[in-house]
C-alpha cells in the first residue's frame, strides 16, 4: 500500500471550527483538510476538500477516487517507461508487470494508493464487545485502535457516486490479527484458497476476503484448546510432528 498525504481530517460530526486530525506539510503549513461524508453504502465514504484561503470556489469539492488511481497509473507509466508490459486497475489496486533485462523474468506488482486516518471515529463495538475466549488479545486491539485505518480509492459497485467514493480498509488491522494466529488457524484460510483455486471460474463469486473474515470470526468464537486438539489430530493423521 502506498500512503498518500499528509492530510488533515474532519469527521461527519465536526463543524468548521473543529480541530483537525492529521499532520502538516513539512515547512509549508497546514495540509489539505478533507471532510469525511457518509454515503448510502456502508463501508464507503466521500471525501470533500474544504476551501482554502487561495481557492476561488466557495463550496467543498470532491476528492475523487478515480482521479487518484488514474494519477498513480500515469506515475507508474512515467517511472517504469517501456518496461511496463501490462497495466490494469483492479478495485483500488493498480496492477502491472515489468520485464527485466533477463529473458523471461517478469515481476508482478500490485500497488494500492491509500490515505491513513489516525483516528477511529465510528463505532467502538469491535473494541468493546465481550470476547469470551480473549481472542484477539487486548494488546492487538490496542494496537489497532492506536494506528487507525486506511481509505482506498474504490466505490461500491452500482452506486450513484461509485467513481468518487472511498472504501474503508482494515488491511493493517488484519495483519495485526494474523500475527497472533496459530499455524492451524492460518492453514484453515490457506486450505480454503487451495479449494477455491481448484474449482476455477465456478468459485469466482466467492471472494477470499469473505473466507478470511469468516475464519477470524470463528477464531474469536472458539476456545483455543479446540484448535490445539485439531492440530494434534491432523498431525497424527498426516504423520507429522506435533
Together in a domain, 20 and 107? yes
Q: How far apart are CA 73 and CA 77, in angstroms?
A: 6
What's the total number of domains in the chain? 2
Together in a domain, 161 and 212? no
Q: How far apart are CA 59 and CA 51, in angstroms?
A: 7
> Which of 33, 37, 221 lies closest to 122, judged by CA?
37
Beta carbons of 27 and 10 less than 8 angstroms apart:
no
Grid cell in block for residue 121: 471515529
Cα atoms in the Cβ-side hemisphere of radius 13 Å centred on 94 = 21
Together in a domain, 73 and 60? yes
Together in a domain, 19 and 34? yes
Together in a domain, 77 and 103? yes
Quote the domain boundaries for residue 140: 121-149+171-238
Q: What is the pLDDT of residue 33?
A: 87
Band (239; pLDDT cuts 50, 70, 90): low
Q: Partners of 204 in the beta sheet?
A: none
Together in a domain, 94 and 206? no
Grid cell in block for residue 159: 452506486
Beta carbons of 97 and 106 less than 8 angstroms apart:
yes
Beta carbons of 206 and 156 less than 8 angstroms apart:
no
Work out the mean pLDDT of the chain and round it to a whole number: 83
- Tens digits of per-residue pLDDT, 85-142? 545 555 787 777 666 655 566 667 778 899 999 988 888 899 999 999 999 999 999 9
Together in a domain, 69 and 165? yes
> Which of 81, 183, 106, 173 lies closest to 136, judged by CA?
173
The H or E element that residue 126 is part of is helix 125-128
Together in a domain, 114 and 36? yes
Buried b (16+ CB within 10 A) or exposed e, 140-168: bbebbeeebbbbbbbbbeeeebbebbbbe
Q: Does position 211 have pLDDT exceeding 70, yes or no?
A: yes
Together in a domain, 107 and 165? yes
Percent of the chain with pLDDT over 90: 36
| DSSP-assigned states of every residue in 198-241 | HHGGGGTTS-HHHHHHHHHHHHHHS-HHHHHHHHHHHHHHHT--
Q: Kindly report whether the peptide bond that precedes residue 136 is cis, defined as omega within 30 degrees of 0.
A: yes
Beta carbons of 149 and 25 less than 8 angstroms apart:
no
Q: Does position 176 have pLDDT exceeding 80, yes or no?
A: yes
Contacts of residue 121, defined as CB under 8 A and 6 or more positions apart, other chains included, come to 11, 12, 36
Band (147; pLDDT cuts 50, 70, 90): very high
Together in a domain, 99 and 130? no
Together in a domain, 39 and 114? yes
Together in a domain, 115 and 222? no
Q: Does position 149 have pLDDT exceeding 60, yes or no?
A: yes
Amino acid at each position: 500500500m502506498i500512503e498518500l498525504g499528509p492530510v488533515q481530517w474532519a469527521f461527519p460530526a465536526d463543524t468548521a471550527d473543529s480541530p483537525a486530525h492529521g499532520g502538516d506539510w513539512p515547512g509549508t503549513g497546514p495540509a489539505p483538510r478533507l471532510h469525511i461524508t457518509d454515503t448510502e453504502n456502508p463501508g464507503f465514504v466521500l471525501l470533500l476538500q474544504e476551501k482554502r484561503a487561495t481557492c476561488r470556489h466557495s463550496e467543498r469539492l470532491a476528492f475523487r477516487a478515480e482521479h487518484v488511481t488514474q494519477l498513480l497509473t500515469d506515475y507508474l507509466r512515467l517511472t517504469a517507461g517501456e518496461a511496463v508490459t501490462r497495466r490494469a486497475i483492479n478495485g483500488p489496486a493498480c496492477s502491472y508487470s515489468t520485464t527485466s533485462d533477463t529473458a523471461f523474468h517478469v515481476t508482478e506488482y500490485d500497488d494500492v494508493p491509500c490515505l491513513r486516518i489516525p483516528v477511529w471515529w465510528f463505532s467502538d463495538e469491535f473494541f468493546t464487545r465481550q470476547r469470551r475466549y480473549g481472542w484477539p488479545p487486548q494488546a492487538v486491539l490496542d494496537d489497532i485502535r492506536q494506528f487507525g485505518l486506511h481509505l482506498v480509492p474504490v466505490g461500491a459497485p452500482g452506486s450513484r457516486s461509485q467513481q468518487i467514493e472511498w472504501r474503508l480498509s482494515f488491511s493493517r488491522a488484519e495483519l495485526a490479527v494474523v500475527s497472533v494466529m496459530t499455524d492451524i488457524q492460518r492453514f484453515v484460510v490457506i486450505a480454503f484458497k487451495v479449494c477455491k483455486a481448484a474449482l476455477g471460474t465456478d468459485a469466482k463469486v466467492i471472494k477470499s476476503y469473505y473466507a478470511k473474515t469468516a475464519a477470524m470470526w470463528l477464531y474469536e468464537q472458539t476456545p483455543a484448546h479446540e484448535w490445539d486438539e485439531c492440530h494434534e489430530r491432523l498431525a497424527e493423521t498426516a504423520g507429522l510432528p506435533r
